C-alpha cells in the first residue's frame, strides 16, 4: 500500500499549489524518481507546464504533457496530465491536484496530496484524508510554506 503525504500550504500565494508542485517535483527528480502530476483541468495542466520552465532558472525539469492519444510516445520522468495516467505507467510518485482522491492511487509507490488554505480546499482535503485512511493507506501530514 503506498504512503500518502499531505502537504498543507500555510501561506496564501498566487498559484501556491502549482509553485509547490514544482518544488516537490524538483526534489523527486533529484532523488532519481519519476512523477505523474494529475492536474484538475487542461488549463491547470498548461499553467503548470509553463511554470516548470520558469520557476527555477538554475535547474531543468525534464517534463512533458501526457495525452492519451499519444500514449505510445516515450515518457519524460515528469508527466503532467489532466486525465488519469495510462494503465501501464512507470511513475514512482503521483502528485494529485484533484478535489477528490483518485481511484488509481494504489498503482504508485507514493502519493502527494496538496491542500491550500482556502476553506473549500481544506474541506476537500479532509475528505481525501478520510478516504485514504479508511482504505488503510499510510498517511503523513506536512505543513509547508510556499
Q: Which is more confident, 74 or 140? A: 140
CA-wise closest residue to 124 among 94, 102, 93: 102
Q: Which is more confident, 93 or 91? A: 93
**Residue 84 to residue 67: CA distance in whole angstroms:** 10
**Residue 9 to residue 112: CA distance in whole angstroms:** 13
- pLDDT score recorded for residue 108: 93
Q: Are 49 and 80 a contacting pair, CB within 8 Å?
A: yes
To the nearest whole number, what is the mean pLDDT of the chain? 90
Q: Which is more confident, 71 or 132? A: 132
Q: Are 99 and 118 a contacting pair, CB within 8 Å?
A: no
- pLDDT score recorded for residue 17: 94
CA separation, residue 50 to residues 21, 32, 55, 142 (Å): 13, 22, 9, 26
Enter the pTM of the model. Answer: 0.92
Q: What is the pLDDT of residues 28-87, one digit of tens each?
A: 999 999 999 999 999 999 999 999 988 777 777 888 888 754 555 657 899 999 988 877
**Residue 98 to residue 96: CA distance in whole angstroms:** 5
- Top CATH class of 3-67+75-144 equals alpha beta
Amino acid at each position: 500500500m503506498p504512503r500518502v503525504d499531505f502537504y498543507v500550504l500555510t501561506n496564501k500565494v498566487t498559484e501556491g499549489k502549482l509553485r509547490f508542485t514544482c518544488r516537490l517535483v524538483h526534489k523527486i527528480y533529484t532523488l532519481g524518481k519519476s512523477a505523474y502530476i494529475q492536474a484538475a483541468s487542461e488549463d491547470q495542466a498548461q499553467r503548470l507546464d509553463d511554470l516548470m520552465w520558469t520557476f527555477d532558472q538554475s535547474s531543468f525539469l525534464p517534463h512533458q504533457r501526457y495525452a492519451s492519444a499519444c500514449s505510445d510516445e516515450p515518457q519524460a520522468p515528469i508527466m503532467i496530465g489532466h486525465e488519469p495516467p495510462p494503465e501501464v505507467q512507470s511513475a514512482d510518485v503521483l502528485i494529485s491536484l484533484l478535489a477528490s482522491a483518485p481511484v488509481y492511487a494504489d498503482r504508485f509507490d507514493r502519493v502527494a496530496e496538496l491542500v491550500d488554505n482556502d476553506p473549500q480546499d481544506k474541506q476537500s482535503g479532509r475528505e481525501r484524508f478520510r478516504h485514504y485512511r479508511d482504505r488503510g493507506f499510510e498517511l503523513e501530514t506536512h505543513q509547508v510554506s510556499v
